[in-house]
Structure formats: C-alpha cells, structure tokens
C-alpha cells in the first residue's frame, strides 16, 4: 500500500471516527441508537461506494481507500462485515456466508464476555 493510499485511509478514518462519536453522543438513551445508526449508515455508505465502483470501470480507486476502508472502517466495522457476507452469499458460497454470520456474532459476543470477566478478575485481585 502506498503512502498516498494510507493518507486517504487516515483522512477517511479520522472523519469516520469523529462522525461516529458525534452520532453516538447525540443519540444517547436506553437503547444503543447511536451504534444502530452508524451500523446501518455505514452499511449503506459502503454499499453505495463499492457498488458504484464495481459498476464504473473508471472509478478512482482512491475513493475505496477514503470511504470504504477509511471512513467506514472507523465509522463501523459492521459495514465491512455486511458487505463481505453479502459478497459470499451473492457468489452462492452459502456455508461461508452463513458461517461468517454465526462465527462473528457468537465469537465476538463470547470474546467480549471473556474480556469483561478477565478485566474484572484482574481489577479485583
């Protein structure tokens, strides 16, 4: 990856992280509406960017680094998960797509639970 491509990722990442923080701050409440909103918006944005790039042969590749990798990567990784899963299902790789869903949900929840338990154990010893 070139220095220019990394710069696009960094700029997009900074904008995505700030956008996520602002949305999460504005949408506080009993339900995690901020997280829900960034996951849906990020999935829409990555779909638009990568769908458009796939349809246009002359699309500037820098847009992928700026928006898909940078902005959406910092805004929400759920967008990448969604796109990659749909790509597998679109290729009729059913086991891989469904396995990706099951593994991500189960293992990420389990890893978070283990992390919380480890932190509590360390903090209380």
**Is residue 12 part of an annotated ligand binding site?**
no
**Is residue 76 part of an annotated ligand binding site?**
yes
Q: Which residue has the tokens 């500037």?
A: 60
CA atoms within 13 A on the CB side of 36: 8
Give the DSSP letter string of the chain.
--HHHHHHHHHHHHHHHHHHHHHHHHT-SSS-HHHHHHHHHHHHHHHHHHHHHHH-TT--THHIIIIIIIIHHHH-SHHHHHHHHHHHHHTT-HHHHHHHHHHHHHHHHHHHHHHHHHHHHHHT-
Known binding residues are: 73, 76
Binding residues for Na(+): 73, 76
């Amino acid at each position: 990856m070139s220095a220019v491509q990394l710069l696009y990722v960094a700029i997009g990442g900074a904008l995505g992280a700030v956008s996520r923080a602002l949305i999460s701050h504005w949408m506080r409440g009993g339900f995690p509406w901020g997280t829900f909103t960034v996951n849906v918006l990020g999935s829409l944005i990555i779909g638009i960017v990568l769908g458009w790039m796939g349809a246009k042969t002359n699309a500037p590749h820098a847009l992928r680094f700026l928006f898909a990798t940078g902005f959406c990567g910092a805004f929400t990784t759920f967008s990448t998960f969604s796109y990659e899963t749909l790509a597998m299902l679109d290729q009729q790789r059913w086991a891989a797509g469904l396995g990706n869903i099951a593994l991500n949900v189960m293992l990420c929840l389990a890893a978070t639970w283990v992390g919380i338990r480890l932190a509590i154990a360390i903090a209380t010893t």
